[in-house]
């Protein structure tokens, strides 16, 4: 920018930042307030309001499949199937598909896709048709969109994902569909823009699907996310700012589950899937602290016991196998030539007792186990 300071000579030449927009740069609120629909049409839509024919969008809103079929027989409307318009019953510029998905008109969603509607177009808020179908709880529309190739992670232009919302409201059925179509159970793009090739740094857990499902005590959703391979400490596989997390709501997911007073099953699930108890700086005195009164006493005792006791070799083997296989290949674990005990996580929560807190005995001069042959030695 001409009025700004000179660019640093060490700055990459290809690095361009958008100009800073201030309140004074925005259109006058008076004009927008007088006719919000007209202002949105001018800012975001494909043609002026007086030239717009909204019959296609209005038919999608009311679920009028016959009208959609009749209109899309005309070449002009076929060309406009992905057109964003300020339709009669709303002010947000959207495509007909996005409108039908919001209202839950599955037949209209299916027909529009068959006629060439782009399943991943976003509205002015960065929401895809799949995202609004999830937000409004329309499972049938979710399935249709996923089967048509919609991105299960939504859009990078929006700071939430379909999976995150399903985990927040406890829609296990929708969550299962999203995971079946390879939605990422670890969060990433909600962290904001990436600078060049650097990885994003996690500094809060509130954007994580595991955290939000635990905060609302949706145990089944929490379990499903972990079974699908969600990272059990931070629900993120990139760099983590531990100092920022410690200053915030929780230092890790185990800490968050304890703070939110979740039942002991949440603790068992995290521990069974490899969560590290050492990341939580708690002790027995924490239960008496004023800001810890929500803590479930049984959950705290299980956590403290797990932190005192070394992990069993069988448990370490299971975790090592899952991490080696990766999220995309967890369904192949049962086909590995390994003992069942090394393949499957515990089916039900089990309490750790002090009698199990024994250090593992050395296995000197023993032949490698099938697990070590498959994934390497377990340290």
User: In sequence order, what are the residues at sequence separation of 6 or more whose Cβ sits closer than 8 angstroms to the Cβ of residue 97?
Assistant: 60, 81, 82, 109, 112, 113, 117, 118, 119, 121, 129
Residue 379 belongs to some domain of the structure: no
Residue 286, pLDDT above cutoff 70: no
Name the residue among 91, 97, 102 with its Cα closest to residue 41: 91
Q: What global pTM score does this model have? A: 0.76
d(CA 282, CA 202): 22
Q: Which domain holds residue 49?
A: 37-151
Collapsing DSSP to helix, strand or coil, 28 comes out as: coil
Of all residues in the chain, the percent with pLDDT exceeding 90 is 48
Q: Does 47 reside within a domain?
A: yes
Over pLDDT 70: what percentage of the chain? 69
**376 falls in which pLDDT band (50, 70, 90)?**
very low
What's the structural domain count of the chain? 1
Residue 193 lies in a domain: no
Task: Compute the average pLDDT of residues 152-169.
Answer: 94
Domain membership flag for residue 214: no
Q: What is the CATH number of the domain that holds 95?
A: 1.25.40.20
Most confident of the ranges 13-17, 80-84, 177-181, 338-342:
177-181
> Could you read off the pLDDT of 32-68 as tens digits, one per residue?
444 555 555 565 555 554 456 789 999 999 999 999 9
**CA neighbor of 215 nearest in space, from 206, 203, 227, 204:** 206
Burial class (CB in 10 A: 0-12, 13-18, 19+), 120: middle
- Considering the domain boundaries, does residue 61 fall inside one? yes
Average model confidence (pLDDT) across the chain: 78
Section 69-88 average pLDDT: 87
Phi and psi (nearest 5°) for 191? -80, -10
pLDDT surpasses 50 at 348: no
Predicted confidence at residue 373, as pLDDT, reads 46
pLDDT for the residue numbered 13: 40
Could you tell me if residue 83 is inside a domain? yes
Is the Cβ–Cβ distance between 88 and 58 less than 8 Å?
yes
131 located within any domain: yes
Is 28 domain-assigned? no
């Amino acid at each position: 920018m001409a009025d700004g300071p000179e660019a640093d000579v060490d700055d990459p030449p290809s690095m361009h930042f958008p100009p800073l927009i201030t309140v004074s740069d925005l259109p006058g609120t008076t004009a927008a307030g007088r006719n919000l629909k007209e202002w949105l049409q001018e800012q975001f839509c494909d043609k002026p309001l007086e030239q717009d024919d909204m019959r296609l969008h209005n038919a999608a809103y009311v679920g009028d499949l016959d009208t959609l079929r009749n209109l899309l027989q005309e070449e002009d409307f076929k060309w406009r199937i992905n057109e964003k318009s300020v339709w009669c019953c709303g002010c947000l510029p959207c495509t007909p598909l996005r409108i039908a998905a919001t209202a839950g008109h599955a037949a209209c969603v299916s027909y529009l896709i068959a006629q060439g509607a782009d399943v991943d177009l976003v509205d002015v808020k960065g929401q895809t048709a799949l995202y609004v179908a999830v937000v409004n709880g329309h499972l049938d529309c979710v399935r249709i969109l996923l089967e048509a190739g919609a991105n299960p992670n939504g859009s990078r232009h929006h700071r939430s994902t379909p999976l995150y919302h399903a985990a927040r409201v406890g829609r296990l059925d929708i969550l299962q569909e999203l995971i079946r179509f390879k939605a990422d159970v670890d969060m990433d793009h909600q962290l904001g823009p990436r600078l060049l090739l650097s990885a994003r740094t996690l500094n809060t857990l509130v954007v994580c699907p595991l955290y939000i499902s635990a905060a609302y005590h949706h145990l089944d959703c929490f379990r499903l996310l972990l079974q699908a391979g969600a990272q059990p400490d931070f629900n993120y596989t990139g760099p983590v700012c531990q100092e920022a997390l410690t200053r915030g709501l929780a230092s890790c997911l185990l800490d968050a589950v304890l703070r939110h007073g979740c039942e002991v099953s949440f603790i068992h699930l995290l521990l069974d899937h490899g969560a590290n108890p050492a990341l939580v700086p708690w002790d027995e005195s924490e239960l008496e602290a004023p800001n810890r009164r929500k803590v479930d006493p049984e959950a705290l005792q299980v956590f403290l016991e797990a932190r005192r006791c070394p992990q069993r070799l069988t448990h370490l083997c299971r975790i090592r196998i899952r991490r080696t296989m990766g999220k995309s290949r967890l369904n192949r674990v049962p086909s590995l030539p390994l003992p069942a005990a090394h393949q499957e996580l515990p089916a039900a929560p089990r309490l750790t007792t002090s009698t199990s807190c024994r250090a593992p005995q050395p296995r000197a001069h023993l032949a490698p186990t099938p697990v070590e042959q498959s994934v390497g030695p377990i340290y």
